[in-house]
Each structure stands twice: as structure tokens, then as C-alpha cells.
Structure 1
Amino acid sequence: MSEPNLLRRNRKRNGRAAIRFFRILLKHQGCPPRVLIADKFASYRVAHRQMMSSVEHRRNKYSSNRCENSHQPTRQRERAMTWSHSVGAAQRFLAVFSRISRHCSPPRRGRTTTDHRTEMVAGFQAWDQVTEPTIAA
């Protein structure tokens, strides 16, 4: 098989994969979006043209940063479990870590410093009560 035919076939396959991806998204969404923000993949342009030609397609360099930053809590949890060697161990760790992390670092947005400190103290007091060793009588 010659090199150009292989590249052409891969291009079509990527376009088909993007069409299948958009079809799944539209089925779960229920209605077409007002604006499509995607990376500069050529296969997205093919799928956009076939599936949602009436929808505006924005392909700016930094448009997808907002979408990627929304996954930041997930990335923090993934970073915390990088030491894990198995899926089960990671799941056990994350089950506990996600509950504890909210006590140790409450969100700061829209709060005064006093409210933040009060919540931090309450969270650490709750943590001390849970982890306090009981003395057998």
C-alpha cells in the first residue's frame, strides 16, 4: 500500500470517528448547541460540516482553556494518586481523599478571610475528633 493512500484512509477514519463522537454527544445533549468550541483538528471540521453546519464553530487558540480548567479538581485527585500501582488501591485512596480534602482546603471564592479561617478551624476540629485515639479504660 502506498503512503498517500494510507494517509487518505486515516484522514477518513478520523473524520468518521469525529462524526460518531458528535452523534453521541448530540444524542445525550438532546438539542444542538449554540456554539461549538473545539480544537483545530481537521476531523472536527469534517464532522461539524456534516452534522451541525448551522452551529458556529470557534477554533481559536485559547477558547478551550475554560473547558480544560473545569477538570482541575479531577486533575488534582489524579495527581494525588500517581503513586498507586493498581486501580483498586487508587479507588480506595480517592474514596477517602475526596472526603478529607474538602475539610482541609475549603473553597475561597466569595468568602471573607474570617469565614475561611473559621471553616478551616471547624474542619480540623472535626478531623481531630475522628482521628483521636480512644483510650481503653
Structure 2
Amino acid sequence: MGSASLSYKGHRYPVEVISHCVWLYHRFPLSFREVEELMLERGVTVSYETIRRWCAKFGQAYANALRRRQPRPGDKWHLDEVFIKINGRLQYLWRAIDQNGNVLDILMQNRRDKAAARRFFRRLMKRTGAVPRAVVTNKLRSYGAAHHEVMPCVEHRQSKYLNNRAENSHQPTRQRERAMKGFRSVGGAQRFLSAFSGISPHFRPRRHLMPAHDYRAEMTVRFTIWEQITGVAGLATAA
């Protein structure tokens, strides 16, 4: 998918400005006001409220388009959950990644019991259209109970030492949570993190595993894909 389903009709700013603001906000731990300031330094006057509306309108659409560009998920899934305090109440962020580090899905829930684990398992299989060869989780009993009910034929490994990959994948979320001084609502957290988990990893290749020239080449490819899904590349071609 490119930008065929995206419409910028009615927006007085060009797509290059809109997509750049959305990229800045989701790629770096910046506030809307800080993005506004960066754009002002570039000679573009746009209010932080406008940037907020752009991120709300286009962020998820960009994330969905990037996910459709990803290869099929790996056959080993790592699942983990962490607590997030919202308005003084504990909520739980459930996350699944494959063995290659690709984020498969995230889900905010107010519990981490069997029903919550079962809901996340079913959502994962529906969204990916796949069934894994193995799932790796911590020793939370809810995982085992839901696993036996939803995917009994899938190998289930429970160990706090085997799931570092999933635990480490929470770090960018924690970084954004601190920068945003917490989330204001469960729905807002779900909407932001759903877009964030689709956009941010696209610009975070495993840099420590590649030399500098390979990293730069990979980032060039990823920026090209970004221009294609946002519609910037189409404008360049038309010109």
C-alpha cells in the first residue's frame, strides 16, 4: 500500500510538512510544542495543536501502512506485560514481538488475568493471520491458562531468562512515557502506542549489528518507504 487511501484534501500545509511533523513526534521523545519549535527553526510556522491533530489523524494510518510492508512474522513470539499508571490506576501494556524484534501488537488492559491473556492471544492471531511455532513468556500463570485454551498445540516456554527480547522492547515506550509525563487516559495511551509501535521501530534498525555504511544504506531504504507510504514520493514523481 502507498498513499492511495490517504487524503490530504482540505489541509493547507503540504504533505512534506505533515509527514515530517508526524515522523518527528513518533521517532523522537518530543512534545508537540518541541516539534512546533523545530519546524519554526526550519521556517515553517505551525501550531502545536495542528501538529497534534495531524498525529491523531495520520499516525495510525502511516503505522498500518508500514506494518503491511513488513514480512510475515517469525514463528516464535515473545510476549510480556508491564504496568503503566494512568490517573493513579495501574493498567497493563501487553506486547508481542517475534524473534526478529518486529512488534506484532500491543494492547492496553486493566488486568493481567486469564481473560486478559486469552484476549491478547486471540487478537494476536487475528491481526497476524498466523499461528506461531512457539511462544515465550514469563511465569505469569495467566499465560499458561490462556495458552492451553487458545493455542494448545503451540509450544509454550515460560522463563524469566528467555524473554529478555520482549522485556527490552518496552524501553522506547518507557522513554516516551517519561517524556510525556505519563498518559492521560487508557484510550489515549492505546491510540498513541499503537501508532508509535508501528512507526518508531521502522526507524530503529539493529544498528549495533551492522557497520556504518550498511546502517546508512538501510536507513536510506527505510526513508524511501516512508516517503512512499506518506505520499511524498508520489509528489516527487509527478513533478
For normalisation by structure 2, the TM-score amounts to 0.29
Decide which structure has the larger Cα Rg and report it: 1
Higher relative contact order (CA 8 A, sep 6+): 2
Which protein is richer in strand relative to its size?
Answer: 2
For normalisation by structure 1, the TM-score amounts to 0.48
